[in-house]
Amino acid sequence: MTYKFLSMKLDKQLIQDHNKKLHDKHQSGFSFIADRLTTEGHDVERILAKIAALQIAIPSWALGTGGTRFSRFSGGGEPGSLEEKIADVGLLHAINRSSGAISLHIPWDIPKDAKAIKSLAKEYDLVFDAVNSNTFQDQADQELSYKYGSLSHSDKAVRKLAIEHNVDVIKHGELLGSKALTVWLADGTCFPGQQNFRKAFQRTLESLKEIYTALPDDWQMFIEYKPYEPYFYSTVIQDWGTSHLLASKLGKKAYCLVDLGHHLPNTNIEQIVATLMMEGKLGGFHFNDSKYGDDDLTVGSIKPYQLFLIFNELVYGMEDPASINPPPAWMIDASHNVKDPLEDLLQSVEAIKLAYTQALLVNKEELEAARENNDATQAQEILQHAYRTDVRPLIAEARRRAGAALHPITLFRNLNVRKQLIQERGLKTVSTGL
Ligand SMILES: [Mn+2]
């Protein structure tokens, strides 16, 4: 049985069989929570529809085993081509019906035949999310180096190369139906005095302006920020303020992108989200989790309460009728060094949906009243009442209705997917780009 055949078959038979086995147990759990929420005044059908509608893009680089600065341990059966990466995301989407988009990294995933790749993705019911440029490493045939920066480089010729690369990425994205370019700039310095901060910013702005000019009218540009790494003294776009400054100067198609791992320890990310949405400048979101830095761990594995608080602001921003913020683009941006990447991604999507659903349960009117009365105790009670609700049966029910699996990880394991992938692709594999 080939992998593709297996994936195509999942919808119709294997998932139904899996769901049938779990039906009774699921039904009693779902009835319990549905009754409770109805008693509390929630519209359960409305919540289920919202859960089902939330789609989270999977990046093409998250399907293989990642590594650290020291080592990389291949997990086997990793996708060696763009076609195989699409098949992997297709499988995830068939299992959870929540990962209906793939985000490509250029030049790791340049389609040889864009039309064929687009129709392959369509077979799996996938669309193409934001395309990502890469000026953080030199390509084999590259004459000039990004060692001392790309869009901010002191040499105009290097900046030109980086600009042309980004324009090229937009062209690849257009052929696939993408509508956004994500720019994550690694540019920065390792030592005090190495760079003129102002000049670096201004050069970056000038470079981004040229890229922005090449951006189609119905596209968005997402500007990601990060305080350190790969350079350890400064980065050109170090924080949301710098990202916002650039996005504001560029124009209405430019937005900030928040990556959860790109903050210094204990940063109040939910407050950043609130401010950016208030200004209509939150374009995209990269999910992961961390304990120390940009650890790229499974979403919700370390700080699920923080994720909930962030979603509380996201939901507030999305449901506010006066909001001027467009619907943000959701993507997982994580690395998998220990777990099976596909299992890790299923867990991450689940964690995002849990936090989202819990945020939907927050009683906004009561919370606002508590705030107006400066009642900190009551505000905490309201938030944690939602956070401590076990919403897993709601998410499972939304999946079931969408034709997906009640318990994705169990199904993934019962199908022996990884064993099959290893048989098909080999044990010692390295996913392209990793
Ligand atoms: Mn990111």
| Structure tokens given for 337 | 């060094």
Q: How far apart are CA 208 and CA 322, in angstroms?
A: 30
The pLDDT of residue 196: 98
Q: Above 80 in pLDDT, residue 3?
A: no
300 Rama class: left (phi>0) / alpha (psi -120 to 50) / beta: left
The continuous run of DSSP H or E covering 116 comes out as helix 114-123
CA of 323 from ligand 1 middle (Å) equals: 25
Asked if residue 210 lies in contact with residue 166, where contact means CB atoms within 8 angstroms, the answer is: no
**CATH number of the domain encompassing residue 363:** 3.20.20.150
CA of 286 from ligand 1 middle (Å) equals: 5
CA of 50 from ligand 1 middle (Å) equals: 25
% of the chain at pLDDT higher than 90: 91
Residue 183 within a domain: yes
- For the chain, what is the radius of gyration of the CA atoms? 22
More confident residue, 10 or 143: 143
Q: Does a cis peptide bond (omega within 30 degrees of 0) precede residue 230?
A: yes
CA of 185 from ligand 1 middle (Å) equals: 10
Residue 396 within a domain: yes
Q: Above 60 in pLDDT, residue 373?
A: yes
DSSP per residue, 258-322: EETTSS-TT--HHHHHHHHHHTT-EEEEEE-B-SSSS--BPTTSS-HHHHHHHHHHHHHHHH-TT
CA of 27 from ligand 1 middle (Å) equals: 38
Q: Tell me: the pLDDT tens digits for 330-364?
A: 999 999 989 999 999 999 999 999 999 999 999 99
DSSP symbol at 188: E
| Residue of 393, 410, 411, 409 whose CA lies nearest to 401 | 393
Residue 432 within a domain: no
CA of 293 from ligand 1 middle (Å) equals: 13
What domain range includes position 230? 3-425
Mean pLDDT of 305-321: 97
Angle at 238 between CA 232 and CA 241, to 5 degrees: 160
DSSP per residue, 214-272: TS-TT-EEEEE--SSSSSSSEESS-SHHHHHHHHHHH-TTEEEEEETTSS-TT--HHHH
CA of 164 from ligand 1 middle (Å) equals: 21
| Structure tokens given for 62 | 């998250």
CA of 415 from ligand 1 middle (Å) equals: 31
Asked if residue 342 lies in contact with residue 418, where contact means CB atoms within 8 angstroms, the answer is: yes
The pLDDT of residue 107: 93
Residue 430 within a domain: no
Residue 167 within a domain: yes
CA of 330 from ligand 1 middle (Å) equals: 11
Categorize the per-residue pLDDT at 432 as very low, low, confident or very high, splitting at 50, 70 and 90.
Answer: low
CA of 179 from ligand 1 middle (Å) equals: 17
Provide the domain count of the chain.
1
Sheet with 127-128: strands ordered across: 58-59, 101-103, 127-128
Mean pLDDT of 122-148: 96
Which backbone phi and psi does 301 adopt, to 5 degrees?
A: -80, -25
Q: Above 50 in pLDDT, residue 2?
A: no
Which of 154-168, 194-208, 392-406, 417-431 shows the lowest mean pLDDT across its residues?
417-431
Categorize the per-residue pLDDT at 132 as very low, low, confident or very high, splitting at 50, 70 and 90.
Answer: very high
CA of 259 from ligand 1 middle (Å) equals: 5
Q: How far apart are CA 87 and CA 93, in angstroms?
A: 10
Q: How far apart are CA 361 and CA 165, in angstroms?
A: 44
Q: How far apart are CA 289 and CA 261, in angstroms?
A: 6
Q: How far is CA 221 from CA 180, 248, 251, 376, in A?
A: 6, 12, 10, 39
DSSP per residue, 7-70: HHHIIIIIHHHHHHHHHHHHHHHHHHHHHHHHHTT--HHHHHHHHHH---BEEGGGSS----SS
CA of 333 from ligand 1 middle (Å) equals: 5
The pLDDT of residue 5: 46
Q: How far is CA 50 from CA 100, 140, 273, 315, 357, in A?
A: 15, 45, 20, 11, 8
Q: Which amino acid is at 358?
A: Q
Which of 99-108, 178-187, 314-323, 422-431 shows the lowest mean pLDDT across its residues?
422-431
Which backbone phi and psi does 257 adopt, to 5 degrees?
A: -120, 125
Taking each helix axis from N to C end, the angle separating 304-319 and 341-360, rounded to the nearest 10 degrees, works out to 60
CA of 31 from ligand 1 middle (Å) equals: 38
Residue 289 within a domain: yes
CA of 360 from ligand 1 middle (Å) equals: 25
| Mean model confidence pLDDT for the chain | 95
CA of 296 from ligand 1 middle (Å) equals: 9
CA of 275 from ligand 1 middle (Å) equals: 20
CA of 85 from ligand 1 middle (Å) equals: 19
CA of 343 from ligand 1 middle (Å) equals: 20
CA of 401 from ligand 1 middle (Å) equals: 32
CA of 104 from ligand 1 middle (Å) equals: 12
Q: How far apart are CA 92 and CA 98, in angstroms?
A: 8
CA of 364 from ligand 1 middle (Å) equals: 30
CA of 407 from ligand 1 middle (Å) equals: 28
Q: Above 80 in pLDDT, residue 254?
A: yes
Q: Above 60 in pLDDT, residue 411?
A: yes
Q: How far apart are CA 18 and CA 399, in angstroms?
A: 13
Q: Above 80 in pLDDT, residue 433?
A: no
CA of 214 from ligand 1 middle (Å) equals: 23
Mean pLDDT of 8-13: 66
Residue 431 within a domain: no
Q: How far is CA 276 from CA 137, 223, 240, 258, 327, in A?
A: 30, 13, 9, 10, 13
The pLDDT of residue 430: 77
Q: Above 90 in pLDDT, residue 11?
A: no
Categorize the per-residue pLDDT at 294 as very low, low, confident or very high, splitting at 50, 70 and 90.
Answer: very high
CA of 146 from ligand 1 middle (Å) equals: 19
Q: Above 80 in pLDDT, residue 15?
A: yes
Categorize the per-residue pLDDT at 75 as very low, low, confident or very high, splitting at 50, 70 and 90.
Answer: confident
The pLDDT of residue 71: 86
Mean pLDDT of 60-89: 90
Q: Tell me: the pLDDT tens digits for 148-157?
A: 999 999 999 9
The pLDDT of residue 66: 85
CA of 32 from ligand 1 middle (Å) equals: 38
More confident residue, 379 or 71: 379
Q: Above 90 in pLDDT, residue 393?
A: yes
| Structure tokens given for 7 | 């994936």
CA of 103 from ligand 1 middle (Å) equals: 11
pTM: 0.96
Work out the end-to-end distance of the chain between its first and last CA atoms, rounded to an integer number of angstroms.
28
Q: Above 90 in pLDDT, residue 326?
A: yes
Residue 9 within a domain: yes
Q: Above 90 in pLDDT, residue 179?
A: yes
Q: Above 60 in pLDDT, residue 1?
A: no
CA of 224 from ligand 1 middle (Å) equals: 7
CA of 393 from ligand 1 middle (Å) equals: 30
